[in-house]
Structure 1
Amino acid sequence: KAKASKAKQAQSRVKALERLELIGPAHVDSGFSFDFHKPDKLPNPMENLDAVRCGYRSEQGEVAILDNVCLSLRPESRLGLLGPNGAGKSTLIRTLVGELAPLAGRFDKDNDLAVGYFHQQQVDRLDHSDTPYQMLSRFHPKWSESALRSELGRFGFHGDDVFAPVGRFSGGEKSRLALAMIVQEKPALLILDEPANHLDLDMREALNMALQAFEGAVVMVSHDRHLLETTVDEFWLVANGSVTRFEGDLDDYGRWLQQNRRDGKPVKEEKAGDGLDAKARRQQAAQQREQLRPLKRQVEKLEKQLSQCDQELAKIETALGDDSLYTDDSRKNEMNALLGDQARLKKQHDELEEQLLEAMESLEQAESELTV
């Protein structure tokens, strides 16, 4: 907490961790509990990017997505990547992992660095004929069957499931299996691209707790607000072709998205002399507005629902401020009902915030594609 005054992100994380202490016991008996093994080595620094240009090489030439990226990853790094969909977060992650070579600049990576990389494509590429038991035994060929079963059980695989082909598993089960394999790699750096997708609430909390205890560095992209607030210390914004430190928390990021949308360039209009007459330009502008309308409606709908939820929560919390509620035995049922409503509304509030953040990012991306 002594460091909390240095950054708003840290203050948000302290509050989120305090909430986690309250809800954590509810997940103790969920059946999911794991941790990341201690890394063999913790290089310092792990990776250094100096004026790096990130993008792709093709037969047509280079396609730059991000330019002049300067970033240093150290054992204590806990980074959350923010930015509209399509702005370059995945490009940056693939560069950090080594899937994409920098187009320019200097990228230094320690040779002994063990990286654990989670992404949906990796989950989708799991061999459908493989089984959890076979996959784990490749990491630990000398382990007994009981030891292998015990390790798989920490990720919710029990009984015949350990010998079932991956092709039969749901998206959530495949994600759990992919995480189990990453744990065996004993990574020093975790790079996680939407790790909570397809995971149920109990497994999300198990992942959350495991990340709390992880001794290495974390770089994460996620729309799970709770996961971000409790596992990262600083945010970096990927937008407009650059990567910059974001001085704020997730509430500030939501306001940034709204402000950026209000201050953004107008829907793309062809300039004079572009070969289109005034009527054609008006028709084109109308078509572009029509493309954005469903996204804007979704944002407005979620903003309205969030506002209503806030109002209901305020009423509940005002009622819970009545001291007699806790001293008058005849009001015990009323108190329990109010506490239940408060818990339900707080859960709804978190879900609406997450959906709104994702909707605003989608709208921001769509608007940027229609602007000059």
Structure 2
Amino acid sequence: MKPETNGSKMPSILVTGGAGYVGSHTVLTLLERQGTDIDIVVVDNLSNAYRAQGQKQPEPIRIIEELTDKTIHFYDVDIRDKDGLSKIFEHHDIESVIHFAALKAVGESVQKPLEYYQANITGTCTLLEVMRNFGVYKLVYSSSCTVYGEPENLPINEGHPTGRGLTSPYGKSKYFCEEIMKDVCRSDPKWMIVSLRYFNPVGAHRSGRIGEDPSGIPNNLMPYISQVAVGRLKELQVFGNDYATVDGTGVRDYIHVQDLAEGHVKAVKLFHQPGFGGFHAVNLGTGTGYSVLQMIAAFEQVSGRQIPYKIVGRREGDIAENYADVSLSQRLLGWRATRTLEDMCADTWRWQHNNPNGFKK
């Protein structure tokens, strides 16, 4: 890969997977919060992001540049491409990395385990190796609450065992990556890694111009609901109604993607605290769980659209209930989620209603 000619030696944050859902919202939040004293470099292989024919930038990046009037350095590179990554590090003064790039669908990972291990684990190891080669030791990692497996107690705090009874290759890949990062931090005290264990990101930017736009049939609940509401899909499939929950459907801790993005900005600021170092895992959630049927009802209320659904069998890899203890994020990051379930549904609906085909016009 030939580097851009407009590269910069201004201090930079590298965002892998920055054209994806959580990545793009974090890039926008970084640009809104960091001012003009830092560059943003995005690496994405576009496996789950849309780029219009003839355009250099994927749509989310192009729109973020319009919204912020700032330039983003974008590279269409797979993080498993060691040479391609190395050229980017040569071309920019990378200070820290936020690592989103990964395959992320629980159900799909059960059907495609090799693809998930290759992308998520091999990709992460390659990234860490290139970072070390260039003396970059600050990483914010996009992890997942799936590392906890079947919850032994609720709410789940960071002291909950990880790696036990994991139900999907996706969850295992996130757990394995965390274990690799712990070993890396033990091997060299220069490393600073914050692993953010997401619960369930939903919502969209308040502008309604960027949001979740999955390739193909959505694997997650909220984009499926919104595509049914806008008429792209006929009905929602609800996977199981016989769980030991409030109404038999799965319960999850849903967090607004803007809150999640702000958590990443707070995590990057930790790197500037004297004495900070090593590996730290932090939950990012709201601390409240909602069932699938409660989510449907909330979305219907906000959108004014009926969401037809059909109960089907449980999905392999799913668990009954999952929500976070978020006290550590408040203590360590000085962060907490502030947006409500109504905000999540309203912002999702604004994005989907304004963009019924996602980023495709």
TM-score class, shorter-chain normalisation, is: under 0.3
Structure showing greater radius of gyration is 1
Question: Which structure is richer in relative contact order (CA contacts within 8 A, separation 6 or more)?
Answer: 1
When you count helix as a share of all residues, which structure comes out higher?
A: 1
If the length of structure 1 is used for normalisation, what is the TM-score?
0.27
